[in-house]
């Protein structure tokens, strides 16, 4: 274990620093950085992942909101420091600026804004090659959930629509300083192409309505919404939201996005 460096962790920035060398090694191995690859790290903090990544890549872009931490990072050879709120970073523009079609995005994310970060990156998914994130294990369980389970919900559908995902590593609280009160894990997210006719806003609304009362059958929750959209297709509404697969939600949203003329 590394001794924590001289910095008092700021709760409002979700600062839980990795101090377990074995876990750091496993995360870097899961990412598999190769020299020259365009990797962007969200929240480098005290460089637990940054240092080994930089050694393997030769150059690395980091996005850090904490002004003091960003100041410590500046001036290091090969490191491009973007001092900003990650939610304001235009990843599509960043890829263009780095002269690459797609970025590899990694990070031990601040847990207090992990869902907003995931949804922000969804806006830029076409500029992403892959993502490796440390998150609360409970969030990853929801991301990779299967239908007909308690974890299957809005987050599952909205992410599985555009990513193939797997939980690649369990990380216990004692691997951090200070230790978070929850278990953590690392997820790998590989973008996949979406049905061309599907509008994200429509899928979002569909899933929101369907899961608004997840114990009810869809006839009572989604029936009227589909009617309002002029949907005349065949769909079994005697099920509950959690019993409908991601592929079925996609098909339904695509049908409503572009109804036959």
Binding residues: 16, 18, 43, 64, 85, 108
Q: Nearest CA to 70 among 37, 47, 88, 102?
A: 47
Q: Give the contacts of 127 (CB within 8 A, at least 6 positions apart).
A: 91, 92, 94, 95, 101, 102, 103
Judged by DSSP in three states, 22 sits in: helix
Bridge partners for 176 per DSSP = 18
Candidates 23, 63, 121, 125: give the one binding ligand SAM (CB under 6 A): 63
Outline where DSSP puts E strands in the chain.
17-18, 39-42, 60-64, 79-83, 103-108, 128-136, 163-171, 176-177, 184-191
Six-digit token string for 147: 């239908």
Q: Which is nearer to ligand SAM, 78 or 230 (CB)?
A: 78
Helix axes 246-257, 200-210, angle to 10 degrees: 120
Among 82-90, 121-129, 139-147, 225-233, which window interacts with ligand SAM (CB under 6 A)?
A: 82-90
Convert residues 25-44 into a mask of x (bound to ligand SAM by CB under 6 A) and - (unbound): -----------------xxx
Six-digit token string for 141: 């369980």
Asked if 85 interacts with ligand SAM (CB under 6 A), we say yes
Among 15-23, 185-193, 222-230, 238-246, which window interacts with ligand SAM (CB under 6 A)?
A: 15-23
Asked if 60 interacts with ligand SAM (CB under 6 A), we say no
- Binding site for S-adenosyl-L-methionine: which residues? 16, 18, 43, 64, 85, 108
Least distance CB 45 / ligand SAM (angstroms): 3
Cα distances (Å, whole numbers) of residue 218 to 109, 175, 214, 236? 35, 43, 9, 8
Among 9-17, 154-162, 196-204, 221-229, which window interacts with ligand SAM (CB under 6 A)?
A: 9-17
Cis peptide, bond prior to residue 178, ω within 30 of zero: yes
Asked if 15 interacts with ligand SAM (CB under 6 A), we say yes
Q: Which is nearer to ligand SAM, 42 or 118 (CB)?
A: 42
Asked if 18 interacts with ligand SAM (CB under 6 A), we say yes
Q: CA–CA separation, 205 vs 13, rounded Å?
A: 30
Least distance CB 77 / ligand SAM (angstroms): 19
Q: Which is nearer to ligand SAM, 85 or 227 (CB)?
A: 85
Candidates 4, 7, 13, 119: give the one binding ligand SAM (CB under 6 A): 13
Binding residues vs ligand SAM (CB under 6 A): 13-18, 42-46, 48-49, 63-66, 69, 85-87, 108, 110, 113
């Amino acid at each position: 274990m590394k001794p924590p460096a001289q910095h008092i962790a700021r709760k409002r920035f979700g600062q839980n620093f990795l101090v377990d060398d074995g876990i750091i090694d496993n995360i870097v191995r899961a990412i598999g950085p190769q020299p020259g690859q365009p990797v962007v790290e969200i929240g480098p903090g005290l460089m637990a992942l940054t240092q080994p990544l930089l050694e393997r890549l030769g150059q690395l872009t980091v996005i850090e909101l904490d002004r003091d931490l960003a100041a410590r990072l500046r001036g290091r050879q090969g490191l491009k420091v973007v001092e900003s709120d990650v939610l304001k970073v235009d990843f599509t523009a960043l890829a263009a600026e780095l002269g690459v079609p797609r970025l590899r995005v990694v990070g031990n994310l601040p847990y207090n804004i992990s869902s907003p970060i995931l949804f922000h990156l969804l806006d830029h998914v076409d500029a992403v090659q892959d993502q490796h994130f440390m998150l609360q294990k409970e969030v990853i369980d929801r991301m990779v959930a299967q239908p007909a389970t308690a974890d299957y919900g809005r987050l599952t559908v909205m992410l599985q629509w555009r990513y193939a995902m797997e939980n690649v590593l369990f990380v216990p609280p004692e691997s951090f300083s200070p230790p978070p009160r929850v278990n953590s894990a690392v997820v790998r997210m590989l973008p996949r192409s979406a049905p061309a006719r599907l509008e994200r806003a429509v899928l979002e609304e569909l899933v929101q309505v369907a899961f608004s009362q997840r114990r009810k059958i869809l006839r009572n929750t989604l029936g009227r919404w589909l009617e309002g959209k002029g949907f005349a297709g065949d769909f079994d509404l005697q099920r509950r939201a959690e019993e409908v697969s991601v592929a079925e939600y996609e098909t339904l949203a695509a049908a409503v996005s572009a109804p036959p003329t």
